[in-house]
Chain A
Amino acid sequence: MLELNNVKKTFFPGTPNEVQALRGISMKLEDGCFAAIIGTNGSGKSTSLNAVAGSFMVDSGQIHLDGHDITKWPEYRRASLIGRVFQNPFAGTAAEMTIAENIVLSMRRGKTRGLGLALNRRIREEIKERIRPLNMGLETRIDNPIGTLSGGQRQALTLLMATWLRPKLLLLDEHTAALDPKSAAQVAVLTKEIIEREKLTALMVTHSMQQAVQLPHRIIMMHKGQIVEDIYGERKARVKVADLMNAFDRVRRRDLFDASVAEQVLPQFA
């Protein structure tokens, strides 16, 4: 279970560029729950994921995952519990290393790495076995540098790498956003498959309302560093794209409702 308790983060505090990226985020994500985070640009979606992954230390608040207080853990240590796919297909793999080498790196996620040869026949077979179902023909190319693959293929592999060892939490940051529509759809389907098969706990940032409605069990909507909507259970079951658009509209309208508007409308209300 992932639990965030009043997590705050301010970038460049005390300078003119100060950004309050997270203004007190609290949420509880039960085991096996797949949640999508949606929100306007700059609302703090990526920052929330980065806070959980440990890309930076938060200013205040606690983060618990799988019974550990990971608030102070460095990023690489959290990786033993967390699998991650980034928006940029180049971010999740080392382009000049081969497919097999990249994958084998993820096979030891969170474990010690020694002087044994990373790849052997058995491991190579295992790799081929597990990338065959992608139906991308990659199993015959496992010794090609991963940089020679398309963005969609790289993202599919990154997803596979992130879940090769079952993570306690899977973090996906707009991982289909940089792909062409067809590859994006493919990766989205693969995401759903893997998460359902492995019953993963996952947090996915997406800009696609369609994805948010179809894929996850729960939708968390962020605005200006805060969670403004949390849709799960029955409400999630009947939520439609239009409802999410309305929700966006509501927060936008709320922003436009300032003191001068209040002064205008109050006397006209009654």
Chain B
Amino acid sequence: MTLVIGAFTMGLILSLLALGVLISFRILRFCDITVDGSITLGASATAVLLVSGCNPWLATLGGMGAGMIAGFATGLLHTHFKIEELLSGILVMTALYSINLRVMGRSNVPMLNSESISDWAEAMLLKSNPTEKISILGWPVPVRDLAMLLTVAALVAFIGLLLNLFLKTSIGTAVRAAGENPQMIRAQGVDNRWMQVFGLAVSNGLVGLSGAVLAQYQGFADVQMGIGMMVWGLASIIIGEALVGKSTRSTGMMICGALMGTVLFRLLIAIALRWGLDPNDLKLVTALFVFAALVLPRWAGKIGRKVFGGRGNAGA
């Protein structure tokens, strides 16, 4: 049971990252690799703030803000300095590696002694229910784990709703249009470049937020923790789209899909690990999964056409 709760919590935390990737990859149609750096940035900024005794929520906000700055930088490089999108992401991500080391002062910051969201959540839950273990379906669960799960779930729900609302505001619709049809939105009097910068800031803000919460959940920030996160987010989105249907473009459905996709993916990974998957192979498996998800539908189409080619596409 602890395992399930752990996977859920982790999935929910990473779903914030998935929302960030959703904005850059699906809404702005910008392949933003800054993510790998900004999640670490969010984590390290939060860790350092916490260690210096800052309020955990403020520290979390700080991590989010740091992520936004990273996204802003990537956006600026692309739109105003005319650097290709992948390259601007790589530049910022690379720079962030050093910046993260500088922020933390070393490659790993443990936060064993500082108050984090987890501590705050545990305290809240203990106030209303002062027992060490709570039993769910007969399984005893540590209060700390449950409290963290509930807090993260609430946070994710809140952020998801907020994001959904944001995408429906005047500026949010403009950001979406800028991603889909820059020419059209320019003709409506909007500087699509700033929309892109803004969208990337929001996207990386969410990623930073994810990093901030992740660090507090794990109890440390590590300069390596961001590696492969962008692909991770992509995998989650792809699973999410499989769940809610790829054709749906309603903002609410897209957000739900990304959330569910991340949690499901995390659960699958947890199960795989349990069955003996070497954690070192995790990123390879993720990459293979994304590869398969991108390529298989095309192959399936081709093979389908070959097999059923003679009969045309009747019944397809």
A and B touch in the complex (CB under 8 A): yes
Complex A-B: 27 CB contacts under 8 Å: A53-B187, A76-B191, A76-B192, A77-B189, A80-B189, A91-B183, A92-B184, A92-B187, A94-B176, A94-B177, A94-B184, A95-B180, A97-B173, A101-B177, A108-B188, A109-B189, A113-B170, A113-B174, A114-B170, A114-B171, A115-B171, A116-B169, A116-B170, A118-B168, A118-B173, A161-B188, A162-B187
- Select which of B170, B171, B173, B186 is within 8 A of A79 by beta carbon: B186
In chain A, residues 103-126, which have Cβ atoms closer than 8 Å to a Cβ of chain B? 104-106, 108-111, 113-119
* Given contacts A92-B184, A117-B165, A145-B249, A97 and B170 within 8 Å (CB-CB): no
Q: What's the nearest-Cβ distance from chain B to residue A109, in Å? A: 5
B residues less than 8 Å from A46 (CB atoms): none
B186 engages A91 (CB within 8 Å):
no
- Residue among A90, A96, A118, A162 with max Cβ neighbours from chain B (10 Å): A96
Residues of A within 8 A of B188 (CB): 79, 105-106, 108-109, 161
With A and B bound together, what is the CA distance between A82 and B189 in angstroms?
Answer: 9
A110/B168 in contact, CB under 8 A:
no
Enumerate chain A residues within 8 angstroms of B184, measured Cβ to Cβ: 91-94, 105
B181 within 8 A of A: yes
Check: A175 CB closer than 8 A to any chain B CB: no
Known: A80-B189, A82-B187. 20 other contacts (CB 8 A): A53-B187, A74-B191, A76-B185, A79-B186, A84-B187, A91-B183, A93-B181, A94-B181, A95-B181, A96-B249, A97-B249, A101-B176, A104-B173, A105-B188, A109-B189, A110-B189, A111-B189, A113-B174, A115-B169, A117-B165
In this assembly, does A196 line the interface, its C-beta being within 8 Å of a C-beta of chain B? no
Check B190 for interface membership: any CB of A closer than 8 A. yes
Task: Determine if B172 is an interface residue (Cβ-Cβ < 8 Å).
Answer: yes
B139 to chain A, nearest CB (A): 43
Q: How far is the CA of A156 from the CA of B192 in the complex (A)?
A: 24
Q: Are A113 and B190 in touch, CB under 8 angstroms?
A: yes
- From DSSP, what is the main secondary structure of chain B's interface residues? helix
Nearest opposing residue in chain A for B179, CB measure: A94
Complex interface: chain A residues within 8 A of B180 (CB) = 94-97
Residue A75 interfacial (CB < 8 Å): yes
Complex formed: what's the CA distance from A60 to B191 in Å? 24
Tell me the smallest distance from the CB of B163 to a CB of chain A, in Å: 13
Residue from B171, B177, B184 whose CB has the most chain A CB atoms within 10 Å: B184
> Within 8 Å CB of A108, what residues of B?
170, 188-189
Residue in chain A with minimal CB distance to B178 = A94
User: Per-position contact with A for B88-104: 1 when CB-CB < 8 Å, else 0?
Assistant: 00000000000000000
Q: In the assembled complex, how far is the CB of residue A227 from the closest CB belonging to chain B, in whole angstroms?
A: 25
Max chain A C-beta neighbours (<10 A), residue from B185, B188, B190, B249: B188
Q: Closest CB-CB distance, B162 to chain A, in whole Å?
A: 11
Given contact pairs A96-B249, A105-B173, A105-B174, A76 touches B189 in the complex (Cβ within 8 A) = yes
Smallest CB gap from A104: residue in B: B173
Bound-state CA distance A37–B198 (Å) is: 39
CB distance from A220 to the nearest CB of B (A): 22
State whether A119 and B168 are in contact (beta carbons under 8 Å apart), knowing that A74-B191, A91-B183, A96-B249 are contacts in the complex: yes
Q: In the complex, are the beta carbons of A113 and B191 less than 8 A apart?
A: no
Q: In the complex, how many angstroms separate the beta carbon of B46 from the nearest chain A beta carbon? A: 26
A75 touches B186 (CB 8 A): yes
Instruction: Say whether A105 contacts B185, CB under 8 Å.
Output: yes
- Complex CA gap A73/B228 in Å reads 42
| Closest B residue to A115 using CB positions | B169
Residues of A within 8 A of B181 (CB): 90-91, 93-95
Q: How far is the CB of B171 from chain A (nearest CB, A)?
A: 5
Residue among B173, B174, B183, B192 with the most chain A CB within 10 A? B173
Closest to B176 in A: A97
Contact with B190, one of A76, A114, A115, A119 (Cβ below 8 angstroms) = A76
Residues of A within 8 A of B169 (CB): 113-118
How many angstroms between the C-alpha atoms of A59 and B202 in the bound complex?
37
